[in-house]
Amino acid sequence: MTHPARDLVRTTTEKLAPDPRSNPLVPRIADGTSPRSALAALALEQTWVIPADRRAFEHLAARSGTTDPQAAAFFTALAQGEALAGERLVAFARACDVREETHEPLPGCQAYPAYVAWLALNAAPPDVVLALTANFSAWGGCCATIANALREHYGYTDEACGFFDFFAEPSPDLARLATAAVGAALDAGRLDERRAHTYGRLLQTYEAMFWTALSETP
């Protein structure tokens, strides 16, 4: 017996899977040829991304309210995850020996959280659930690759890799919440698959910009 919501999440994720050629940095980190300056820039940019995304998810949870309680649960879990990730980011930034106060954020890196904030203000929450779930699959794969490479090629400790380990681990609970939110919206006729696909495509494009901007770090 098929599960329409689960099938929709799967097919949307497959359709929005990024072109491997769109990420010029992670393959270089994977083989140890990326300069450490790019790792430092990655740490610094994430100190801007993580709190911005957390607040966006909190806003989406509030907007979902009693109308979309399953979506509210999904976004609440995301916001809690961002808070935990932010705690783990500290060790990575410390290992990179960076100084946040002297960093000027890169526009190409901050386009992604800016668009997440736009979604939080303008998009229907169930549509955002589907778009983000598809996008997170690619992000998790990148984090798994980076976590392994940091240990193998750059000598980072487990603590310093914790930020990437956190996102690399699949979350059955989050998948369950996403499926429930998509399923409830489908049943109520309140899911716009076309818009969700558009949102997901833009998220993938902005994420590609993120990696490209980092790859151009001197």
pLDDT at 195: 97
Tens of pLDDT, residue by residue over 35-85, are 999 999 999 999 999 999 999 999 999 999 989 999 999 999 999 999 999
pLDDT score for 2? 46
Distance CA 60, CA 40 (A): 30
pLDDT tens track for 118-164:
999 999 999 999 999 999 988 999 999 999 999 999 999 999 999 99
Given this model, what pLDDT does residue 137 score?
A: 86
Closest CA to 103 of 37, 162, 52: 37
pLDDT of residue 101: 76
The yes/no answer on whether domain 36-215 falls in CATH 1.10.357.10 is: no
Q: What is the rounded distance in angstroms from the CA atom of residue 187 to the CA atom of residue 3?
A: 12
pLDDT one-digit tens code per residue, 141-154: 999 999 999 999 99
Amino acid at 76: T
Q: Is the dihedral of CA 34, 101, 84, 124 positive or negative?
A: negative
CA 28 to chain centre: 20
CA gap 173, 162 in Å, rounded: 20
User: Phi and psi at residue 183, in whole multiples of 5°?
Assistant: -65, -45
Q: Directed axis angle between helix 172-188 and helix 125-154, to 10°?
A: 160
Mean pLDDT of the residues in the chain: 95
Q: 3-class DSSP state for residue 32?
A: coil
pLDDT bucket at 100, cuts 50 / 70 / 90: confident
Q: How far is CA 108 from CA 119, 160, 196, in A?
A: 18, 25, 23
- Overall average pLDDT of the 13-32 stretch: 91
How crowded is residue 21: how many other Cβ atoms within 10 Å of its Cβ? 8
